[in-house]
Amino acid sequence: MLKNVLLVGLGGALGSIVRYFISLLLAAKTFPFATFTVNILGVLL
């Protein structure tokens, strides 16, 4: 069980880091493209 908790935490940390870097690249103020892009990539993976 601890392994699953750690994997979920690691996945969340990696997702937030990727979301942050994508937001730096896109820098859009009207639509959260970074969150949208990371979520779509996560679904595809």
Query: Model pTM?
Result: 0.58
Assign 3-state DSSP to the chain and report helix, strand, coil percentages, each to 5. Answer: 80, 0, 20
Chunked in runs of 10, what are the mean pLDDT values of the chain (45 residues)? 93 87 73 79 84
| Amino acid letter, residue 33 | F
What pLDDT score was predicted for residue 13? 93
What pLDDT score was predicted for residue 37? 80
Q: How far apart are CA 11 and CA 15, in angstroms?
A: 6
